[in-house]
Amino acid sequence: MDEVDRTLLAELQRDATQAYAALGQAVGLSAGATHERVRKLREQGVIRRTTVDVDPAAVGRGVMAFVLVEANAWMGDSPTKTALEELPEVVEAHVIAGPASLLVKVRTSTTEELQASLRRLFAIEGVTGTQTIVVLESFFERPVDVRPG
């Protein structure tokens, strides 16, 4: 993981459709060498996958909220994870240190659907309460910065 790799990662985050020749120009390498660098980054797991960024509103997921989930037991275990994975509107789930046990990020079509989601979260074993933070506007959501610091 040198400076060249980081530049390649930043370029791929920006546009993963570009050809290896174009990608190589950004770092002064040939297509072949660039290909080999990227192959290794994938192999090492630094690049987890290549994916597309879909506009949530365009697929009927224009409502977003963060939900703090309180519980009467430790929720950092596998059954909880599985229960959350089964809810398609839950896009992130984190075990946290702070005012609750979990923080989940939810995307729904409407606020009515959000309400239905809260009902489903409440139904999970051990959950005693929720605190919902509705997003009014997102300034930005961007990939992790690959530069050291």
Partner DNA sequence: GTTGAAAATATTAATAT
Partner DNA sequence: ATATTAATATTTTCAAC
Number of Cα atoms under 13 Å in the Cβ half of residue 45: 0
91: which residues sit within 8 A by CB, 6+ positions away?
Answer: 105, 106, 107
What's the min distance (Å) between Cβ of 35 and a second copy?
13
Neighbours of 50 (CB within 10 A): 10
Q: Which stretch binds a second copy (CB under 8 A): 25-33, 64-72, 120-128?
A: 64-72
Quick one: 6 or 25, whose CB is closer to a second copy? 6
The structure tokens listed for 108 are 């729904």
Distances from the Cα of 114 to the Cα of 27, 30, 69, angstroms: 45, 50, 14
For DNA, the closer of residues 27 and 87 by Cβ is: 27
Selection from 15, 120, 112, 108 nearest residue 59 by Cα: 108
Residue 74 in tokens: 């430790």
User: Of DNA, a second copy, none, which one does residue 117 interact with (CB within 5 to 8 Å by kind)?
Assistant: none
Residue 116 CB, nearest distance to a second copy (Å)? 10
Considering the complex, state which of residue 6 and residue 35 has its C-beta at the smaller distance from DNA: 35
Residue 97 contacts a second copy per CB under 8 A: yes
Q: Output the smallest distance, CB 50 to DNA, in A.
A: 11
Examine residue 43 and tell whether it contacts a second copy (CB under 8 A): no
Beta carbon of residue 60, minimum distance to a second copy (angstroms, whole number) = 6
